[in-house]
């Protein structure tokens, strides 16, 4: 599909429109980008996350996480990260450089938690063991973590402020690439 938007501003608007659409459409390819972070031992970690909220005016992408997860520690030590999105429908790749902050308390977190608490996903934030914890040889994964500790949760919001986007369109007749930083736009060689 060659969308071939001409003006950089049209492309910028379409990018944010698609990001917003991904929050509400479970089948949108951009709903589950890859988040890459620097590890505490100078390595790199990459994992798929779920895009939960978009604030285009502030260039904010929001992801929910367990505050005990490795990515939280990594982002607290080094807040710069990358989010990579691919859409085969659009033939677009986005590589977003982001500055992240973790919120684990406050009214905003409590409000989001009340909504999540009503879903099946609530158990993901209520398990007694942190994500990635090694299990003993014969230890079972807890079948119903909500029943274990019903009032305790480890829910956190990862707010990623987009600093730069590298946009790539793989068109049938030609490929196009650009770098978006703030309001500036620069065409690049694909």
- In the chain, domain spans: 8-127+151-188
Mean pLDDT, the chain, integer: 92
Residue 136: what pLDDT?
Answer: 83
Residue 4: what pLDDT?
Answer: 56
Q: Is the pLDDT of residue 147 over 70?
A: no
- Contact of 158 with 67, CB cutoff 8 Å: no
Q: 8-127+151-188, superfamily in CATH?
A: Electron Transport, Fmn-binding Protein; Chain A (2.30.110.10)
What is the DSSP annotation of the chain?
Answer: ------SHHHHHHHHHHHHHHHHH-TT-GGGSPEEEEE-TTS-EEEEE--EEEEEGGGTEEEEEEETTSHHHHHHHH--EEEEEEEETTTTEEEEEEEEEEEE-SSHHHHHHHHHHTTSGGGGGGT-SSPTTPPPPTTPPPPS-HHHHSTT---EEEEEEEEEEEEEEEE-SS-EEEEEEETTEEEEE--
Residue 144: what pLDDT?
Answer: 53
**What is the pLDDT confidence band of residue 141, given thresholds at 50, 70 and 90?**
low
**What is the pLDDT confidence band of residue 1, given thresholds at 50, 70 and 90?**
very low
Placement of tokens 């990623």 in the chain: 160
């Amino acid at each position: 599909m060659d969308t071939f938007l001409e003006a950089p501003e049209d492309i910028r608007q379409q990018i944010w429109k698609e990001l917003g659409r991904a929050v509400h459409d479970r089948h949108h390819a951009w709903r589950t980008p890859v988040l890459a972070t620097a590890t505490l031992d100078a390595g790199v970690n990459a994992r798929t996350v779920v895009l939960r909220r978009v604030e285009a005016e502030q260039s904010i992408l929001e992801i929910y996480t367990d505050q005990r997860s490795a990515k939280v520690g990594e982002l607290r030590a080094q807040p710069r990260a990358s989010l990579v999105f691919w859409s085969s429908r659009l033939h677009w790749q986005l590589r977003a450089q982001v500055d992240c902050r973790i919120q684990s308390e406050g009214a905003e977190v409590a409000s989001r938690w009340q909504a999540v608490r009503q879903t099946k996903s609530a158990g993901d934030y209520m398990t007694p063991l942190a994500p990635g914890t090694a299990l003993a040889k014969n230890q079972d994964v807890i079948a119903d973590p909500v029943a274990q500790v019903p009032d305790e949760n480890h829910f956190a919001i990862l707010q990623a402020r987009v600093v730069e986007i590298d946009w790539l369109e793989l068109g049938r007749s030609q490929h196009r690439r650009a770098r978006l930083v703030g309001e500036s736009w620069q065409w690049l060689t694909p």
